[in-house]
Amino acid sequence: MAVLSKAEVPPWGLAIAGSTGAVLANALVYPLDIVKTRLQVQIKQHAQDPPQDAETTNHRHYDGTMHAIMSIVEDEGIKGLYSGMAGGLLGVASTNFAYFYWYSTVRTLYLTRVSKGVNPSTAVELSLGAMAGALAQLFTIPISVVTTRQQTQPKGDKKGMVATAKEVINGEHGVSGLWSGLKASLVLVVNPAITYGAYQRLREVLYPGDKPLRAHEAFLLGALSKSLATIVTQPLIVAKVGLQSRPPPARKGKPFKSFLEVMRFIVEKEGPLGLYKGVAPQLLKGLLVQGILMMTKERVELLFILLFRYVRKVRKEKLEQLAAIAAKKIDEAKVAVAAS
C-alpha cells in the first residue's frame, strides 16, 4: 500500500480534523479551563479596595488549582466546573476550524508557489502560523469574550450566551466590546504559531517523512510544543482574560482599555509574578489539550486519507465500467454496420 500523505486531504478536511480534536480535548479537561480563568482574573484585595459583593463577584480568593476546584464545587456544585461549556466548545470548534483551515491553506500555497516543495524554515513556519492565527481570531473572538464572561460569573449572576453577549454590548464599549482583547489576541497568535511551528519542527527532526504518527508520538509532540508556547506567552494570556472579564472591584466598574493597562494593574497589585498566576492549570490544560488534540487530529486525518482513497477507487472503477460499456456498444455498432 502506498504511503499515506496529508497532501491527499483538502484544507477543509484538515480543519475538521483539527476542530474535532480540539473539541474532544477541551471537553475532557474543561474544569481546568474554568479554574485557570478564575485564577487569572482574580486580584488580591488590599485594605483600600472597596468590599466585594458576594452576589456579583467571585468573592473567594483561590490559593491554587485544587483549592479553586474544591471552592467552586462547594459554592456552585459540580456544574460550576462546567459554566459556559457550550459557548466554550463552540469557540474552540470555530477557532480551531478557522486556524487549521487557514494554516493548511497558506502552508500549501507557500510550498507550491514559493519554496517549490522544500520544507519552510522555523521562522517561516512561525510566520505562517501567526498569519493563520490572526485570520482565525478576527472571526471568532466574540465567542471567546462571551465565554470568558460566563466562566467568571458568580453563582448569583449566571446568564446564558445571548444574555451575556447583551451584557457586553450594553457596557461602556457597545458592540465593539465583543472584540475586547483583540489586540492582545492578535499578539497571542504567537502562541499557536510557536505551538504548531515547534510541533512541525520537532516532527521533522524526530519523525522525518510524511508518515502518520502513532497516537503516543502525536501526544508527546503536542504536549511539548504547547508547554513551550504557554510559558512564553502566559503574561499576555493573563492580560487578555483581564480585558474580557468584568473589571475587578478595585477598578470601581471601570473596564481596562489595553492589555498593557491590565499588566500594569496586576504588577502594581501583585508584583511581576502576578502575570504568571494560573500558570499551573494553564500548563496542565495545555499539555492535555494539545496532546489529545494532535493525537485525535492525526487519527481523523488518517480516516480522511483512507476515505478519499476509497472514493477515488470507486470513481475509477465506475469510469472503467462506463468505458468498457461504451467500448462494447461501439463494437456492437461496428458489427451491425458491417452486417448491413
| pLDDT for res 54 | 44
Lookup: cell for 323: 468505458
pLDDT at residue 33 is higher than 60: yes
> Residue 283 falls within a domain, yes or no?
yes
Measured CA to CA, the distance from residue 76 to residue 54 in angstroms comes to 13
Taking the C-alpha atoms of 116, 225, 82 and 94 in order, what is their torsion angle to the nearest 10 degrees? -10
Domains in the chain, number: 1
151 grid coordinates: 466562566
The rounded distance, in Å, linking the Cα atoms of 106 and 43 is 40
Q: Which tens digits make up the pLDDT trace of 52-87?
A: 544 444 567 888 888 889 988 988 888 888 888 888
Q: Is 180 among the domain residues? A: yes
Confidence band (pLDDT; 50, 70, 90) for 230?
Answer: confident
Q: Does 323 map to a domain?
A: no
Cβ neighbours around 294 below 10 Å, total: 29
Q: Is the pLDDT of residue 327 over 80?
A: yes
Q: How far apart are CA 56 and CA 243, in angstroms?
A: 18
Read off the pLDDT of residues 142-156 as tens digits, 9 standing for 90 and up. 888 888 888 887 777
Q: Kindly report the pTM of this predicted structure.
A: 0.61
Tens digit of each residue's pLDDT (9 = 90 or more) over 96-119: 788 878 888 888 888 888 777 677
Q: Would 331 be classed as within a structural domain?
A: no
Does the residue 328 lie in any domain?
Answer: no
The predicted structure's pLDDT at residue 5: 57
User: What distance in Å separates the CA atoms of residue 229 and residue 279, rounded to the nearest whole number?
Assistant: 12
Domain of residue 105: give its range.
6-315
Q: Which amino acid is at 135?
A: L
**Could you tell me which residue, 3 or 8, shows the higher pLDDT?**
8
CA pair distance 291, 59, nearest whole angstrom: 34
Q: Which amino acid is at 68?
A: A
Classify residue 276: in a domain, yes or no: yes
Which domain CATH number covers 192? 1.50.40.10
Q: Is the pLDDT confidence value at 166 over 80?
A: yes
216 is a domain residue: yes
Residue 307's pLDDT band (cuts 50, 70, 90)? confident
Q: Give every CB contact of residue 270 below 8 A, 6+ residues apart in sequence.
A: 43, 44, 277
For residue 305, the model assigns a pLDDT of 78
- Asked if residue 285 belongs to a domain, the reply is yes
Distances (CA, A) of 79 to 34, 161, 183, 279, 315: 11, 16, 32, 23, 50
